Structure 1
């Protein structure tokens, strides 16, 4: 793939113009689409919630993606949203193994494990998942996670705990109220909203709660377990109060 096309696809991705990416790549004959192009197409299909077609794309270059952590992450992302948790776990396990520094793979791996457990999928037997990627030995984590669904919790080996959300549908209508200003409901927008909530409702935790959002994932974390669990419960309760959410969001700053 030439650099000009790569820059254009990246620009569209950053602006969430996924349909343009799909249309552009589809214009290119299949025989001329290389591995990178097909992966860009699969990612855009994921972002358009077209997960079945995304999986077809990724599987068409499965051999080339064997040692690519992003390939495993992206196909895992599609499986996760199709609630095919067994396949998602395998994919995120491999992604995390290939790139141990990728916190997103670890988070989605944990989310998949927990979702599978909630779904009662007894066919899943995880062998290689490291202990720190599970909920750990603290029963409070699973108890709180059940209360804050669709948010999830991830316990890390360094003792910190993250609160995460794969953004998209949950409370999307709140962000639409300021869409003309550029808000889209992505992970950064959620971070801006949560920052207002933290500053106004839980200022005593401002110095211990940290933000680490991505475009498709909201994430806050802390090495103070009491603080992150308290924040998680309070923020989820706030999210269920649309009037409060809209009021808080009115003061959020676009990242």
Structure 2
């Protein structure tokens, strides 16, 4: 059987690293993109602590679930994003490359405001109930 080339062209990452730092993107050409955050860098740990949490990868997943809920409501998508975090690294990934890049900017923007972070954490809790 002859080798058949993959028809999917390599994707372009249009989000600049400085727009989402300290989060960073890892491409898995041509199929998926991951957004990661190293937990040991302590990003927004003080905010999580004020909200009664620790800033663990599980806390980040909870926050991002709230952001995803809003994203899906505004973009009529469901199950676009998946988590693959461990103790040291928060990770959300998707085969929907552009959607993940948009989500990465939403997550980073949410981190600039403690009230917004709290709102997304609460949205995630309500969705689970």
What TM-score, normalized by structure 2, do the two folds share? 0.75
Asked if residue 175 in structure 1 is aligned to residue 48 in structure 2, the reply is yes
Q: Give the superposition deviation at 1:248.
A: 2.0
Q: Which deviations, in whole Å up to 9, do the C-alpha atoms of 1:26-63 show, x marking residues without a partner?
A: xxxxxxxxxxxxxxxxxxxxxxxxxxxxxxxxxxxxxx
> 4+ residue stretches of structure 1 with deviation over 4 A?
none
Q: Give the superposition deviation at 1:144.
A: 3.0
2:71 counterpart residue number: 202
Q: Give the superposition deviation at 1:137.
A: 6.6
Q: Which one of the candidate residues 87, 97, 110 is aligned to 1:215?
A: 87
Structure of higher RCO (CA pairs closer than 8 Å, 6+ residues apart): 2
Q: Which deviations, in whole Å up to 9, do the C-alpha atoms of 1:62-106 show, x marking residues without a partner?
A: xxxxxxxxxxxxxxxxxxxxxxxxxxxxxxxxxxxxxxxxxxxxx
SS in 1 for 2:90: strand
Gaps of 5+ in 2: 1-9
Two-structure CA RMSD over aligned residues (Å): 2.0
2:60 counterpart residue number: 190
Greater Rg by CA: 1
More helix by share: 1
Query: Structure 1 residues 149 and 227 mapped into 2: Cα distance closer, same or farther (>3 Å)?
Result: same
SS in 2 for 1:221: strand
Q: Give the superposition deviation at 1:251.
A: 4.4
Gaps of 5+ in 1: 1-135
Q: Give the superposition deviation at 1:250.
A: 3.4
More strand by share: 2
Query: Structure 1 residues 249 and 174 mapped into 2: Cα distance closer, same or farther (>3 Å)?
Result: farther
Q: Give the superposition deviation at 1:158.
A: 4.7
Mapped contact 1:198–1:206 kept (Cα < 8 A): no
